[in-house]
Amino acid sequence: MMHLHRFNPGLVISSLIYLHSSLSEFGGFARCYEMTDLSSNKMYAVKVIPQSRVSKPHQRDKITNEIELHKTLHHKHVVKFSHHFEDQENIYIFLELCSRKSLAHIWKARHTLTEPEVRYYLKQIISGLKYLHSRGILHRDLKLGNFFVNENMELRLGDFGLAAKLETVEQRKKTICGTPNYLAPEVLNRQGHGTESDVWSLGCVMYTLMCGNPPFETLDLKETYKCIKEVRYNLPASLSPAAQKLISGILQKNPSDRLALDQILNHEFFTKGFTPDKLPPSSCVMVPELHPPSPAKKFFTKMAKSFFGKKKAKGRAAAQQSSVFVNPLVNLVWFMETEDALTPAAVSESAVKVLNNCLATMPAGNGAQSRPQSFLWVTKWVDYSNKYGFGYQLSNQSIGVLFNEGTRLSLCDQRKTVHYCLPDNKYFTFPADSLPEQLRSQKQIVELMANYMEQNLMEGGDLHCEDQVSGCPPLLLQWVKTDHALVMLFNNGTLQVNFYADHTKIILCKSSDDSYLLTYISRERVSYTYLLSMLNEMGCTSELRHRLRYVVQLLQHHADA
CB atoms within 10 A of CB 555: 22
The identity of residue 115, as a single letter, is: E
- 3-state DSSP: the chain helix, strand, coil percent, rounded to 5? 35, 20, 40
Phi and psi, residue 365, nearest 5°: 100, 175
Question: What is d(CA 304, CA 119) in angstroms, rounded to the nearest whole number?
Answer: 32
Task: Look at the alpha carbons of 40, 46, 50, 51 in this order and tell me if their dihedral is positive or negative.
Answer: negative
Residue by residue, DSSP assigns 199-230 as HHHHHHHHHHHHHSS-TT--SSHHHHHHHHHH
| Catalytic residue list contains 462 | no
CB of 505 within 8 A of CB of 499?
Answer: yes
Question: What is d(CA 148, CA 96) in angstroms, rounded to the nearest whole number?
Answer: 10
Of 141, 277, 383, 433, the catalytic one is 141
At 130, is the secondary structure helix, strand, or coil?
Answer: helix
If we measure between CA atoms, which residue out of 380, 360, 418 comes closest to residue 548? 360
CB of 265 within 8 A of CB of 126?
Answer: yes
Q: What one-character DSSP code corresponds to residue 8?
A: B
Q: Which residues, at least 6 apart from 4, have a Cβ–Cβ distance to it below 8 Å?
A: 14, 16, 33, 35, 46, 48
How many angstroms separate the most distant Cα atoms in the chain?
84
Burial class (CB in 10 A: 0-12, 13-18, 19+), 469: middle
CA distance to 15, 17, 47, 70, per residue, from 82 (Å)? 18, 18, 11, 10
CB of 518 within 8 A of CB of 369?
Answer: no
Q: Which residues, at least 6 apart from 463, have a Cβ–Cβ distance to it below 8 Å?
A: 377, 395, 519, 521, 527, 529
CB atoms within 10 A of CB 373: 15
Question: What is d(CA 30, CA 25) in angstroms, rounded to the nearest whole number?
Answer: 5
Element holding 441 (H helix, E strand): helix 437-456
At 508, is the secondary structure helix, strand, or coil?
Answer: strand
Q: Annotated active-site positions, please?
A: 141
